Every structure is written in structure tokens, then in C-alpha cells.
Structure 1
């Protein structure tokens, strides 16, 4: 309903979307409102309230997605899919199988590496399922099985998140995993009693539920992340970076530690993703977009201070695999380029492994996941808690031969407590005193003037807590900074001058 007061003037019908049925209008309007409704109505505001929506019918989605990605589209929402009630037309093996439709989305994603595709997982749980012997598992199909999309499960709303126990899956939300035991769905968001736009009038609102309602929340977060990343670093993220950030910062959900086949990596956490970007700005986190050449290994050494959990994640747009369009429960890997993420304690030689689903349809509870060599997923995440401080190494390698001779991938790492790379810096001779400090911190460059040096203070979670306007236009070589308003703890002072920058730790008493 493009003339709804909350969307008026911001909807562009790109194809024959105007030919939707009244039910289709209602569904699309509700979904579009979650993404982009303005705040003209009480209690209804989209994630991107000033955005323009490109509206499409889903019947020619792959060709239209390719065309619009070429026009600059960097994310899209797809709240549709195959209903299990139509199983008679396809057979039980259709679910969880990497078929030609899933393959087509992977081809598309690789041809448009900055384009993030968000799919609803489906609403086929809780009734008669196509695979009754699997207890509700193996319900994903089409875009929900592709490797390079984000597939969204639905949860009940959370008033106050207090850990995994505060998250409950919606009874209708379709579960994975895929036939080759990949972690699908990828992520979860609120999909029950979602208030958005209705079609009963130009200012109508209504509640609705479904993974169709959860997916646009994730799409909205993707849009916010891309906006912040562009403002912070001047470029947009690759879609693989978006998926890495999603997994890296997800809030824990489910009975098992780590990811599972109901919630994916957990609950989407918009704030946590933004904080990792800010931590990158403070040199307290890494967000890198890299290329791994065939036969090579990427390694970086760092010092872990054991002040926070250490988390590292890689993701990549994997080349499209071979479509499997007949039979049932193919335990055939869809993964083409198998990258491996490891963290090694150089002091003890202990190696830390990523999360991987246990390849069994009968495991339950905490037994569905472990830390092992993951040879099926194109997202790998290592989480380390309780490890000692010391010298560590992050390693990215690959098995076999890389199709195409190389693989683009994205790497995120946080929690180390130190910069992960050290470059020559004209500010390295700067000193801070007193340290620890009570009220006034002095920074000095010795005989060098501070004219062009600007300062920011970050806490150890990467949050910027103070910006300092430098008024030393009289060639002063030192500056006094009032830190009396900071809470006790450790902080990072970031000094920038042109292209040079340095970071320094200090303790507020």
C-alpha cells in the first residue's frame, strides 16, 4: 500500500507488484513498514524511517534481484517461500536439500558481493511436518538452504534480555538444519505480535506474526549497519562481512552453547554490531576484508589480555555448489571452498576450534553442537572464555584446492584488548601522566607541538565515552584532559593527526 501515510512518497514499484492480491498487499505493507515506516503514527517506526522501498512481486525474483543489485541495491528482504502443506508436489526430499533454486541465489550472491539477501525461514513447525521422524527438523527449502543468504527464524518478543533462557522460539518457526548439517537458519528476531502497517486505511496499523515479520527486522539491522559502516569508514561492507558481523555479535539463544538449528547463531543484536565497528575505530577490534590465495595461509600474532572473551569470525560467499534435485536426505556437502579458522595459544600450543553442528538427527540439548573442524559452513566462529592471557595466533587456511584460485573472505576479531596490528606512527613518543589518574590526565609530545592532534577516549568494550576538542593553537606541547567524569577502570586514549594515529591505555582511579 504505497500511499500509506507512513510510506507515502517512498515506495517505488519496480515490476508488476501492483498486481498483488489484497492479501499480498497486506503482507507486503506490514513487512515494508517494519523496514521503513516513518514515525508519523504512534508506536510504529521502521528501522530505516527515511529509506525508499523498491517493491517487487516475488515471481521473477532471481532475475530482478540481479538487475537491481547492478543498479546499486545492497540488501533486500524476502518474506516468502514454499509451504510444507504442498509437499505432495515435491516430495519429502525437497526440504533441506541444496537444489537448483538454492544454487541460483548463491550464483547471484557471488556475482554481487556487496548485496545481502535476507530470507524468512518459513512457518511450517507445530503442525504436520514433512519429516515426522525428525521431531520438527529439516523444514527449510529454496532460499532457506542457500549458503550465502541470511535465513531468519522467529522468536517471541524479549522485554529484557538476560541470557539464552530469556529467548523462546515461535512455535511455527521452521527449523533446520540442512541435509549436510549446515547451521541454518542463520539468525532469529521477533516474529510474534509484531505491530506494523495495515491496509484497512491510509493510517491503519495491525499486529501480525510469522518469520515474514522477523525477516524485515534483520533486514532493517543490515541497513543500519551498512549506514554506520559507510559513515565510519567511507565504504559499504561486503555481504560476507555483514554475515560475519551478524554471527559475531548475536545474542545467545537455545539450550546449547553457541549456534543451533532453531535460532541459528542467536538473536540479532544491532547495538553489538555497532559497538564492534566503534571498537575497530579505536583499534580494539578487527574488521578485515581479505583474499586467501590458493595454497596460502593468513596468520596474525597478538597479545590477549584476558579482560574479555576472545571472539573471531570468518565468513565468505562460497561458490555455488552442485544442485541436488532428486532423492532425499543427501548428506552431500554443498560447500565448495572450505576455509578453516583457528586460534592458537603460542605459550601452550593449545588450539581453539570453531562451532560445528553434530551431524545427527537425534541429538538434543547441549549435544547438538560442539567445537570441531567445521567442513560444511561458510561462517566459522571461535569463542574463547576463561583462557589465560598471553601470546596468541589467529590462522586462516583452507583444505584442498580453492575453486577459482582464491577466495574472498571477511574476518572479525574482538576482545583481545590490544591492537591487532602495529604500524609506524609519528605519535608513538607521546606520554600520558599521571597513570593511574584521578581527575586530570596530561598528554605530552615532548618538544613537538600538539596543534593538529585530536583525541578520543574509549572504554574496553570499544564504546567512545569522550571526545576532546584540542584548542592548542599556540603551539603547546602538552594538553590537560579532564577525566573526572569517568568511572573507575581501564580506558584507551586514541590520538590522531592526519593519517597517523596511536592508542594508549590509562587507568582511571
Structure 2
């Protein structure tokens, strides 16, 4: 049964208000994305008209399709589960799992973009009675093994128990990769389009055996910028990308041998890039793992931590396309990425069940990164990113939010402001605090080898202090990307984590969040994730009691009234959600006051969750429209 917190969400329909991300901004982003796509498509068309070469090549079950043309050379994009569920601990959330949550992603949508074809819709693992849970928005019914296998890893129902996907009742929208940026931007305009999977990429070594230009690896090019623009316009949508399978391919000019092999969209700031873990064994909190040698390593040229996270992608058993009941085993980051994507969908389902709303994409990503099981070098690295996805730990972080044993908070920092709060360390695990934000798209680069210029636009900073000692966040060493991460001022990553190892039980630590320079748009939304605590002063409940908010009548027919006992002023962001978690309205309030009346006559009968974010804190509550 859905548990709604007794929080108050206040949505105020004021005559003088503006959208938090205006329609004009989205239209400008769409125009830029369309321009990038159209120019790229024209380069491909011109090349094909002048050269007698096929646009698509299939070799050894890998599909290669011309994606772009650079310096007269074609650039090919190519296709890059019980075992996966167990090793990322997603099985704990599924029916029969140790957390007794029985999550299956029912009635939730996942977008899947594929090269060279789509998924066999009639496979028994995708059927719901006489109907398929798969839809093909592009009307491309050419099914391939790769697409069918990827789709099954996300959402196979478990007719064959060994092939059950992560989110076994989810709705699966499978597209071909043509016009992916335009299609994704359009689909993500729906705030309920939460997760998409992209198991393809540009390999270091192309289908013809040639290596692409060295500057391309690690570069923040138009491909990376496009996906940050999409993320900026769609704050609830998280795009999950396979890191690529170029780990064993060599080229001259990289940041280090065997590293710096992420291309194009993998170098975006706001997506989630997944490495291929070959094996993992858990001994309590200790993890022994191996990366698959074919998995592409980072980092980005400016030293950002990429890939972001590891998932199981080796010898994954899933659906195949040869018949309605065929299965197969495959290996690659293509297999790791959908396992992570499906698992993240379950975390959104859980959060919605608990609190009636969905997490924004930067919050979901921060939750996954902060709770990942550390692997490889101590701290983040350019092989595993922040570690191996630990869905169980992420889920318990959600479940512990109510009792102040964890923090999941969405905040906004305005120009020249800071946030400070206290946490009490539990002492039985490391104190971990992470902040993450959907950073504005940076300026793209072309033909610059290993450009170290940071692509970060808004630079937020996280610090923890105790008795005069300051604990700093992780950062990679650009001078030696193979070395363990160090602690220091991070000026490149839009996810910062501070760990206090073996904290003093009961000690009260101060967390401070600030920013450097001028914030683009004069503000930045961000998330705070915290574990290893028993109490915190960062609490929505405390803020609600402090301002003494009341709402009446409830249930209501046409109008709801709000009153604050304490004076409250300034800007606020208001959102309202129905019981499925679908956002039905959002706006930015230019000026709060002590009393409000707002019109709910346009809402259908039912229960709604309202959410009000102010400069002082967050308030949420449900109300009923009669």
C-alpha cells in the first residue's frame, strides 16, 4: 500500500509566476539539438552520396552504423539476468527479496535506443496475456539479438527464472538510434519518462580497422553537450549509457595506456555511464571484483570521474530474437548498462511508494553513486567510477530517510548563499555525504587533444568539519589518472563526496555547501545524500513545524487555503503530483506571503501530493480533491 508521509506539499497557483525551466528555454534547447542532429545527418548523406559504402554493416553479431563523418572519414556507432540482479543486489528489491518490497516496475516506462533494429515484441518474456509490454515508437520491427537481449535484461518477466529482468513488469519503449537526441528530448519532456538505456557507442577502433583521431577520446564534443542539454530540459530523466568495449583497443595520445577511451556522449556530465564488471564477491562490506578487460576506461579529458558506476555485464543470460522462447548469453557494457537502468527504475518505484513523488535525475544518480560498493582503487577511479551499483544499499537509504538514519534531500543554492547543517555520526559505518547537480551544458570542444579546461559551469563545494578539522571531497589526479583518487578542492565534477572513515559515534559533524564564482541562472538545484548518521538538523519535518503551516479544507472541492503561523517570504518552487507520481503542475512562485488561497477546480477527483521548496526548506503534504 502506498505510504504518504504526513508532509505538506503546497502548490500555489499565482497570477504572477514563472516556470522553473521555461518553455522558451526548452524550445532553444530543442533548436540547438535539432541543428546538431541535422548537420551530422547532412555530413553522413553527403559522404554516402560520394562513396560506394553501406551505411550499416553487420559483423560477428555486432552492428555498425555510420554516425558521423569527421575529416572525410566515417565514424561508426556500434552495439556495445539473475546473475546481474544478484551481483548488484537488485534481487533484494524484487519479489521474494530480502527487503520484502516486491518491486517489479509495474506501469513504469523505460526508453531503450538501439543500433540496427529493435526488439522481438512477441517473445514470451514480454507478453502480458495477449498483449506485449513492448512498443516500437519508430515502427521499426526489424528485431535483433542485441536489442532483444538488452530489453530482456531490463524487463523480462521471468518465464525462464534465470532470465528475469530487473523490472519485470515495466513498459518497454524500444527505438532505433536514428535521431536519438531529438527523440529522447521529446520523450523526456514527460516528467514520468524517468530512465532510458543506451547500449551503443563510438569505438576507438572502427569497423574498418582504423582508429579515430586521438582528440576524440575523452573530449566534451557536441555529442556530450547534446545530452547535457537534454538533461537540463528534463530534470527527472536519467540517461544510462554503456561505457563502451574499447578496453583492449590501443591508440597513441591518450592520458595513459589503457585509459582515456570514452567517446562522445559518454563524456556528458549529467548522464550515468556504466562499466562492465566481470565478477564480484561480497564479504560483508568488503568487495572483491574484477573489471572486464574490454570495458572502456576514462576519465574525461578534464579529469572528471568517468565512467560513473559499474554493473554486471559478463556472461549475462537473457532473451534472444531467433524465436519467441529463445535465450542467449552475451558480454559487454551493453549488458551492464540495462541491468543498472532497470535497477534504477525500481529505486524510483520505491521512492514513489514511500513518498508519493519521484526523485529528480541528479538525486537518483547521487543516491546510486553514494551507496555504490567501492571497487578498484580506494575511492572513485577511472575504471569503476564510484564503485559497483548496490541497489540494496540505495533502497535502505530510502527506507531510512524517515528515521533520520539517512539523508535524501533536494535543495537549491542561490547566488552568494550557502547551506550549513549538522549530522550525528552513527559510528558503525563511514559517514558519507554526497552532493550532485544537473550542471548546465558546457562549451563543446573539437580537435583539441586532452584539453584540461573544466567543463563544469556551476562549481558547488562540499565540506565536513569537526573540531577545526576539515574533510575534503575526492578528486582524480589528471597528472596520473591510473593513481588512486586524492582529497582536495574538486573543480571539475558535478558530484562531490566526502567520507569520514571510522567516525566518532555520537559526534556532531557540520556539513557546509557553498559555491564558487557566479552561478549560471543565479541558482543551482542540487541533491544531498547522506548515510552513516543517526540524526540531522536538515529536516523537512522540523521546517514544517517551524513555520506552522495549515491547509484547509481537506478534502476540498474548488479551493484550498494555506496559512503560515510564521512569516515566510522569498521565492518558492511548487509542484503537484497525482498518486501515480505523475507531475500534473509545476511553477516558480516569485513572492511568498503568509496566507494563500489557490484554485484546484481543474484537477480531477482524487488524492494529490503537493511539494513546496522555499529558501528555508522543503514542505510536502497530500490533499484530496472531492
* CA deviation string 1:396-424 (max 9, x = no partner): 10000001100010001121212434666
- Map of 2:98 onto structure 1: none
Alignment of 1:196-235 (within 5 A): 196-235=318-357
In 2, the alpha carbon distance for the partners of 1:304 and 1:163 equals 18
In 2, the alpha carbon distance for the partners of 1:404 and 1:110 equals 12
State the 1:374 CA deviation. 0.7
Q: Of 30, 42, 47, which aligns to 2:161?
A: 42
Q: Secondary structure at the match of 1:312?
A: strand
- Map of 2:301 onto structure 1: 179
Alignment of 1:292-371 (within 5 A): 292-345=413-466, 348-361=467-480, 364=482, 367-371=483-487
Q: Which has the higher strand share?
A: 2
Whether the aligned pair in 2 keeps the contact of 1:284 and 1:420 (CA below 8 Å) is: no
Is the deviation greater in 174-183 or in 83-92?
83-92
State the 1:171 CA deviation. 0.9
1:17 matches 2:134: no
- Map of 1:372 onto structure 2: 488
1:3 matches 2:117: no
Whether the aligned pair in 1 keeps the contact of 2:313 and 2:333 (CA below 8 Å) is: yes
Is the deviation greater in 299-308 or in 143-152?
299-308
- Map of 2:518 onto structure 1: 401
- Map of 1:277 onto structure 2: 398
Whether the aligned pair in 2 keeps the contact of 1:186 and 1:265 (CA below 8 Å) is: yes
Q: Of 187, 204, 227, which aligns to 1:105?
A: 227
Q: Secondary structure at the match of 1:85?
A: coil
- Map of 2:205 onto structure 1: 85
In 1, the alpha carbon distance for the partners of 2:520 and 2:266 equals 24
RMSD in angstroms over aligned alpha carbons?
2.1
Whether the aligned pair in 2 keeps the contact of 1:130 and 1:139 (CA below 8 Å) is: no
Q: Of 139, 160, 169, which aligns to 2:291?
A: 169
State the 1:302 CA deviation. 3.3
Q: Secondary structure at the match of 2:353?
A: helix
In 2, the alpha carbon distance for the partners of 1:132 and 1:109 equals 28
State the 1:160 CA deviation. 4.0
Alignment of 1:470-485 (within 5 A): none
Q: Secondary structure at the match of 1:56?
A: strand
Q: How has the CA–CA distance of structure 1 residues 132 and 74 changed in structure 2, closer, same or farther, with 3 Å as cutoff?
A: closer
* CA deviation string 1:343-381 (max 9, x = no partner): 111xx21011111101124x54xx331111111000001
In 1, the alpha carbon distance for the partners of 2:217 and 2:358 equals 34
State the 1:425 CA deviation. 11
* CA deviation string 1:7-58 (max 9, x = no partner): 131100011432x4x6xx1101000000000011231101111111001011
1:392 matches 2:513: no
Q: How has the CA–CA distance of structure 1 residues 88 and 402 changed in structure 2, closer, same or farther, with 3 Å as cutoff?
A: farther
State the 1:161 CA deviation. 5.1
Whether the aligned pair in 2 keeps the contact of 1:75 and 1:219 (CA below 8 Å) is: yes
Whether the aligned pair in 2 keeps the contact of 1:163 and 1:253 (CA below 8 Å) is: no
In 1, the alpha carbon distance for the partners of 2:255 and 2:525 equals 39
Q: How has the CA–CA distance of structure 1 residues 424 and 369 changed in structure 2, closer, same or farther, with 3 Å as cutoff?
A: closer
- Map of 1:136 onto structure 2: 258
Q: Secondary structure at the match of 1:341?
A: strand
Runs of 5+ consecutive residues of structure 2 not aligned to the other structure: 1-119, 546-620, 622-626
1:28 matches 2:147: yes
In 2, the alpha carbon distance for the partners of 1:426 and 1:301 equals 18
Q: Secondary structure at the match of 2:342?
A: helix
- Map of 1:74 onto structure 2: 194
Q: How has the CA–CA distance of structure 1 residues 425 and 169 changed in structure 2, closer, same or farther, with 3 Å as cutoff?
A: closer
Q: Secondary structure at the match of 1:408?
A: strand
Q: Secondary structure at the match of 2:493?
A: coil
State the 1:127 CA deviation. 3.2
Whether the aligned pair in 2 keeps the contact of 1:120 and 1:151 (CA below 8 Å) is: yes
Is the deviation greater in 283-292 or in 233-242?
283-292
| TM-score, structure 1 as length reference | 0.79
Is the deviation greater in 298-307 or in 256-265?
298-307
Whether the aligned pair in 2 keeps the contact of 1:316 and 1:379 (CA below 8 Å) is: yes
In 2, the alpha carbon distance for the partners of 1:104 and 1:284 equals 38
Aligned pairs, number: 419
State the 1:89 CA deviation. 7.5
In 2, the alpha carbon distance for the partners of 1:44 and 1:398 equals 46
State the 1:128 CA deviation. 2.9
Runs of 5+ consecutive residues of structure 1 not aligned to the other structure: 428-498, 500-509
Higher relative contact order (CA 8 A, sep 6+): 2
Whether the aligned pair in 2 keeps the contact of 1:103 and 1:146 (CA below 8 Å) is: yes
- Map of 2:55 onto structure 1: none
Whether the aligned pair in 2 keeps the contact of 1:84 and 1:130 (CA below 8 Å) is: no
Q: Of 503, 510, 529, which aligns to 1:412?
A: 529
| TM-score, structure 2 as length reference | 0.64
